Structure 1
Amino acid sequence: MPLSTDLQLPALRLDAQGHRRVDLRTIIALALPLFLNSSLQVVLNLTDTWFIGRLSTTAMAAMASCYYLIFVFFLLLGGVGIGVQAIVAQHFGAGQREAAARSTWSGLWAALFTTPLFILIAFSGKLLLSHFGLSPEVLSLADSFWIPRLLGGPLSTLLFALNSFFNGIGQPRFTFWIMLLVALSNAVLNQLFMFHWGYGMAGAALGSTVAQGIGVVAALAIFLRPAFRRQFHTHLTWHLHWPGIRQVMAIGIPTGLFPAMDVVGLGLFQLMQVKLSAIDGAATQIVMMLTSVSYLPAIGIALAGTTLVGQSIGAGDKAWAETCARVIIRLAVGYMGLIGILLALAAAWVVPPFLTPGDPQASAVFRLCIPLLWIAAGYQIFDALNLSCAFCLRGAGDVRVPTGLLLVCSWGVFLPLCHALTFPPGQGWVNFLPQYGWGAKGGWMAAFAYTFCLGLVLWARWRSGAWKRLTLLT
């Protein structure tokens, strides 16, 4: 006879003897839409990269110089939307559906409050990028992409919050259809803005921003559909609720800070390669976009971990949360390891579509991409361990300590090592570090060392069980 609490647990089945077992079909049913949704982000990234690759190698290097720094701000400020998922999942697991809707509205209000900051950052792009030794042509192109992309930051944060609601209640299919609409809109709008209307580099950013606006309208329409109004009272919980907004910010800011600081490291890593040469910068950008084929879908698997852990804790069973997390970690590591190897084996087919035909530097970029993909194949295994553990910890509300661990690994290991291995003597940003001059290959070796350290320390944090002392329920 199952306990009443067992009936509320996610991904639970009872065998013939009444023992609890993980229902892999339920986990796959939850993870698959999240996996596909994150795969759509791959489509968005590759679409932007492909369109910009049609402009020039210099345009590709300009994109590499600012692409990840843009997402630093999207994640840092957008954390108030991302953090909604863990709160919603715990409320849903506890049967507090109206509280789940109220938390989502708190995330939407917090997203609107980020607008002045995004505007300020948007018009500070050239000032920020001018410190990294970029050539005048690369700097000008990067700034033309930066401004319209950052002006879309509030839309991205609103979309984070709404999608976090759907993911937190275990209905990620809505997130998938919304992001499919965004991806299709982005492709059409890129073609229109960049080539038909002549905006060039800025057109890629404008296309992405307008596409996200379309996604917000669609997501809000679903959030307010009759079924959700009946079950969650989504139309009655929109008023400003300051305790809820404070909770969203308390969870969301460190939640966003974690990936933001990771992306800061990756952004500076890319800037080092761009400073070294356009070839190193372009090859690094292409490999980063290709590895997103494994990285971003794995985020979908990890997001399922956030939901499963959060709902299990909300239902009062932290042991079951641990069981679900174990499955998620294995799935993520297996997927990223396999895809990383396949990408390296297929380098001759997957790299050329992102090269500019007739560009004299294209062959050098291609030759460099091949060893970089093999190094990336190794680092993705530990990146999967990092992702899956971090997202399971997020479902428990354990976000501050993991963020601190990431800062130590990124700023204490990754960036100094990357600088030392990338630059030859006298060409780096600073002179107090050793400089071995291994170029982009050295930078990617540093990335491997970073993910190795971060993956192991976050796995140790999860295994410590410190997250079991936390709750997001109020």
Structure 2
Amino acid sequence: MNAPAVKSRLPAVLHTPDGSRRVDYRAVVGIAWPLFVQFGVQAFLNVVDTWFVGRLGSAPIAGMNAVNFSSFTLLLLFGGSGIAVQTIAAQRYGEGRKARAAQASWHGIYSGLIVAPLGVAVALAGPAIFSFFALPPEVVASASDYWLPRMAGAGLVVVYFSLGNFFNGVGRTRVSLMGAVLTFLCNVVLNWLFILELGWGMYGAGLATSISVGAGVLFYAVIFFSRHIRSEYATTRMWRLRPRILGAVYKLGVPIGIHAMFDVGAFAAFQLMVGKLGAVPGAATQIAMILTSLAFLPVAGLNFAAATLVGQSIGAGDKDWADRVGTACIKLALCYMAVWALLFATAGGALSSIFVTASDPNAQAVVELSATLLLIAAGYQLFDALNLGTLGCLRGSGDVVVPTAALLVLAWCIFVPLSHILIFEPGQGWFDFLPAYGLGAKGGWIAALVHITLLGSFLLYRWKSGAWRKLKSA
């Protein structure tokens, strides 16, 4: 591989007159902003979902609190192969092998077909799953209604990830942004129709989301098979199932999915614990989660941009540049989340009041508790920026096993037990042998502060240690 060819494929590089290189932040933003907005759209979609469900009362919001992260846990576990497509596509693109990038997307699609029947089986088990956690009956009913249509669409979610992450990997992030906007608009219209007009409640909310994901898949498929993309990436000639390629997708995707399962699953357990306390703590936690998602989901867009830039740099044969451009993404994440930390600390009550109705007798209590939870959340925003920013860099390099192992230890040996200890009063929790301090929802958010601080610090250390430099391309 000759030097000029490598230089031409390096992303976000600016050559100065003296021959040195520096990061072109305009180019970084050019790749990152569509992903940033895309995930911001997802965050706003969560806000809209919660607003629509809030018209039904505090109990349905508490039901959404119980089901939201639980459904994400399994969808991200199933969807790890679709997320892995980005890393593989970025590295193949950096190598100049564009058709192989499309091949990775096809094998992510096949993974979605494999997942589809599993999603249906899990969807049908919803009532049994939520009853196991001894939640209030009205919360179980609301959660199960949402769970059925949402999990039945798991296969579509994997296909959606696979096609969207193909475009992310090859740097066509505006395509994935357009897909996200279309999905959002469909969801808003269908939420209005199913929840308010037809009165389908939580079932309507879940169904609206799954149908909207299907609309996003159709949009991506049209672009994927369009004349221009077809001629550049040979998308119609790379469809054949290759066990070796499918194995490569799963080799990277399974740790990614497990990482997401451990991460989001720990927060799902935390939300289920809070949901056991009743409607007010459950609703306040759901509102605080939705508002904090306005901070961390756009940074998840920077996470995906970092994976693309690092992956393309490694594919082009320059790991030093991968280090520099990845670190630039981390700095941008820190700047953005610092703003949200200040906002949560000073305006939590005003933000929370948007999601309640005056007719709800619990409205004032929900808003006051949510404001307190947001004040705690303000304390970990910068560490969450480190968590998301460095995780994208590590994923782009193919370094996924050690971060997953670290998350397993921190999430399930520290965060979940500490949440149980701090949330429940004696005799109130799931495990009577654990100490119990009875701090309620506030205790769970303090545990989250500890967890995210430790995780963000470790991932930054892992990135700066350079251990990822020893890995082969995905």
Say yes or no: TM over 0.5: yes
Which residue number in structure 2 is paired with residue 289 of structure 1? Answer: 290
Q: Residue deviations 1:138-196, cap 9 Å, x none?
A: 11111111001101111111110001000000110000011100000000001111122
Amino acid in the other structure paired with 2:329: I
Question: Bigger shift: 372-381 or 304-313?
Answer: 372-381
Q: Residue deviations 1:282-329, cap 9 Å, x none?
A: 100000000011100000111110001000000000010000111111
Q: Residue deviations 1:394-446, cap 9 Å, x none?
A: 00111111111000000111011111111111111111111111111111110
Which residue number in structure 2 is paired with residue 162 of structure 1? Answer: 163
Which residue number in structure 2 is paired with residue 35 of structure 1? Answer: 36
Amino acid in the other structure paired with 2:78: L
1:214 deviation in Å? 0.6
Report if aligned partners of 2:80, 2:254 keep a CA contact under 8 Å in 1.
Answer: yes
Report if aligned partners of 2:116, 2:156 keep a CA contact under 8 Å in 1.
Answer: no
1:65-80 equivalences in 2 (<5 Å): 65-80=66-81
Report if aligned partners of 1:84, 1:164 keep a CA contact under 8 Å in 2.
Answer: yes
Report if aligned partners of 1:337, 1:378 keep a CA contact under 8 Å in 2.
Answer: no
Could you tell me which runs of 5 or more consecutive residues in structure 2 were left unpaired when the two chains were aligned.
Answer: none
Q: Residue deviations 1:38-59, cap 9 Å, x none?
A: 0010121011100100001110
Q: Residue deviations 1:199-236, cap 9 Å, x none?
A: 11100011111111111000000011111111110011
1:18 deviation in Å? 1.0
Structure 2 length-normalised TM: 0.98
1:54-203 equivalences in 2 (<5 Å): 54-203=55-204
Q: Residue deviations 1:324-344, cap 9 Å, x none?
A: 111111111221121122133
SS in 1 for 2:379: helix
**Is 1:432 aligned to residue 433 of structure 2?**
yes
**Aligned partners of 1:422 and 1:155: how far apart in 2?**
36
Report if aligned partners of 1:341, 1:374 keep a CA contact under 8 Å in 2.
Answer: no
Amino acid in the other structure paired with 2:53: I
- Cα RMSD, aligned residues only: 1.2
Which residue number in structure 1 is paired with residue 449 of structure 2? Answer: 448
Which residue number in structure 2 is paired with residue 242 of structure 1? Answer: 243
Amino acid in the other structure paired with 1:424: E
The percentage of aligned residue pairs carrying the same residue is 44
Amino acid in the other structure paired with 2:412: W
Report if aligned partners of 2:136, 2:278 keep a CA contact under 8 Å in 1.
Answer: no
**Aligned partners of 2:36 and 2:95: how far apart in 1?**
26
**Aligned partners of 1:134 and 1:436: how far apart in 2?**
20
Amino acid in the other structure paired with 1:129: F
SS in 2 for 1:276: coil
Amino acid in the other structure paired with 1:401: V
Question: Bigger shift: 336-345 or 322-331?
Answer: 336-345
SS in 2 for 1:435: coil
SS in 2 for 1:21: strand
Tell me how many residue pairs correspond in the alignment.
473
**Aligned partners of 1:86 and 1:315: how far apart in 2?**
13
Report if aligned partners of 2:187, 2:208 keep a CA contact under 8 Å in 1.
Answer: yes
Report if aligned partners of 1:291, 1:340 keep a CA contact under 8 Å in 2.
Answer: no
Question: Bigger shift: 84-93 or 422-431?
Answer: 422-431
Which residue number in structure 2 is paired with residue 316 of structure 1? Answer: 317
Which residue number in structure 1 is paired with residue 51 of structure 2? Answer: 50
Question: Bigger shift: 200-209 or 333-342?
Answer: 333-342
Which residue number in structure 1 is paired with residue 401 of structure 2? Answer: 400
Which residue number in structure 2 is paired with residue 7 of structure 1? Answer: 8
**Aligned partners of 1:343 and 1:370: how far apart in 2?**
8
1:3 deviation in Å? 3.9
**Aligned partners of 1:228 and 1:366: how far apart in 2?**
49
**Aligned partners of 1:224 and 1:456: how far apart in 2?**
42
Which residue number in structure 2 is paired with residue 19 of structure 1? Answer: 20
Which residue number in structure 1 is paired with residue 346 of structure 2? Answer: 345
SS in 2 for 1:87: helix
1:472 deviation in Å? 3.1
Report if aligned partners of 2:313, 2:321 keep a CA contact under 8 Å in 1.
Answer: yes
Report if aligned partners of 2:338, 2:382 keep a CA contact under 8 Å in 1.
Answer: yes
Which residue number in structure 2 is paired with residue 261 of structure 1? Answer: 262
Which residue number in structure 2 is paired with residue 391 of structure 1? Answer: 392
Runs (4+) of structure 1 moved beyond 4 Å? none
Amino acid in the other structure paired with 1:153: A
**Aligned partners of 1:21 and 1:238: how far apart in 2?**
39
**Aligned partners of 1:80 and 1:91: how far apart in 2?**
16
1:198 deviation in Å? 2.2
SS in 1 for 2:380: helix
Structure 1 length-normalised TM: 0.98
Report if aligned partners of 1:37, 1:175 keep a CA contact under 8 Å in 2.
Answer: yes
Which residue number in structure 2 is paired with residue 358 of structure 1? Answer: 359
1:457 deviation in Å? 1.1
